[in-house]
Amino acid sequence: MTDTTTLPPQPTDADQPARSGIEIRNLYKIFGPHPERWIKHVQEGMTKEELNDRHDHVLGLRDISLDLAPGEISVIMGLSGSGKSTLIRHINGLIAPTAGQILYEGRDVVAMSTSDLRTFRRTKTAMVFQKFALLPHRTVLENTLYGLDIRHIPRDQAEPVARKWIDRVGLSGFEANYPSQLSGGMQQRVGLARALANDADILLMDEAFSALDPLIRMDMQKVLLELQEELRKTIVFITHDLDEALRLGDSIAILRDGALEQTGTGQDIVLRPANDYIAEFVREVNRGKVIRAERLARPLAPDEPPPRLRVEGRRVIELVARDMAQMGETHALVTDRKGTEIGVIEASTILSAMVTPAESLT
């Protein structure tokens, strides 16, 4: 296949193209000189310790099956060595699995030819790295143009696109600066602008904010959420930070020693931990920042006057409680995004949800 030489038409907000999700099916990765010798044994139950101690091979991933929804932020998290970065590198073919499939738009990334895989990486995926990965000899503008240069997009077409995204991430006026002249947060904004300029459907973010100071990190999370509200990219975000996962993720998958422990929304995982490991993982979570009003809403009783205060169902209960306190209200009417009534939430219910054991809310 030949490289793209012109930019595709830029979609409008009213005419966003249909996007595909990513399907990961029965994925295994064994690191070592002869992984094919041991894959059947691992599939039959050989442990990670046995594989390493007896056969000097390392089990990176064990039977991972995940559906990463289109237009959503899917967070993959776990502690160091859990396999999360290994997993994300399978999606764009930087690592080949020992067994399994990665399906996108009906095609298996694992089975792609070298040429097709190169095209897939250039046109369908973009990556934002923890250590920024900017070219030190290129300016902000030139770094942002990098993906378009690789695709041989003419500069008169590419430069307006790059400048647009530089402005959108808040770096207008810094186009001529070099990475060494920027703070860490500014460098990561360049990395994000570079990824967005390529207009890829899939955005892969590997510990993208982990190297940033806490305040800058929260600022970048806000930037990402604001952009995602408009763009609806299929984003795979890797982190070891549970608070970050809960803030960003439409869905969360938690890995441990290369195996999948639990998947679900932040509320699912906090309120219904699948096992003792997950329960310990989420024990100290501020549930007021996770539970949403729609989960605690009760039906409006017959002849009950609707509360004056209206809140969107996706609003977390900590903020709903603040709204109630500011308005001097003890009840609020919960609605969906279109304003349709869902039910009523009470201050006493919010307080109970913040302190009651999770199992009583399931």
- Positive or negative CA dihedral for 215, 220, 221, 223? positive
Question: What is the model's pLDDT at position 12?
Answer: 46
Sheet bearing 99-104, strands edge to edge? 58-68, 22-31, 99-104, 107-108
- Positive or negative CA dihedral for 186, 239, 67, 41? positive
243/228 Cα distance (integer angstroms): 18
Question: What is the model's pLDDT at position 357?
Answer: 55
| Across 335-345, average pLDDT | 92
pLDDT digits over 22-34, tens only?
999 999 999 999 9
| Across 154-170, average pLDDT | 94
Question: What is the model's pLDDT at position 77?
Answer: 94
| Across 274-283, average pLDDT | 91
The fraction of the chain above a pLDDT of 70, given in percent, is 93
Burial of 114 (0-12, 13-18, 19+ CB in 10 A): exposed
228/70 Cα distance (integer angstroms): 12
Name the pLDDT band for 212 (thresholds 50, 70, 90): confident
Name the pLDDT band for 129 (thresholds 50, 70, 90): confident
Identify which has the larger pLDDT, 126 or 361: 126
- Positive or negative CA dihedral for 69, 72, 78, 80? positive
Name the pLDDT band for 19 (thresholds 50, 70, 90): low
b/e per residue 18-46 (b: at least 16 CB within 10 A): eebbbebbebbbbebeebeebbeebeeeb
119/152 Cα distance (integer angstroms): 13
Residue 13 has pLDDT above 60, yes or no: no
CA neighbor of 98 nearest in space, from 13, 27, 174, 200: 27
Residue 312 has pLDDT above 60, yes or no: yes
**Residue 117, C-beta contacts closer than 8 angstroms, at least 6 positions apart:** 93, 109
Residue 273 has pLDDT above 50, yes or no: yes
The fraction of the chain above a pLDDT of 90, given in percent, is 75
pLDDT digits over 185-198, tens only?
999 999 999 999 98
Domain annotation for the chain: domains and CATH numbers: 287-361 (3.90.1280.20)
| Across 250-267, average pLDDT | 95
> Rounded to two decimals, what is the model's pTM?
0.85
Residue 95 has pLDDT above 50, yes or no: yes
Question: What is the model's pLDDT at position 283?
Answer: 85
| Across 98-118, average pLDDT | 95
Please state, rounded to an integer, the average pLDDT across all residues of the chain.
Answer: 90
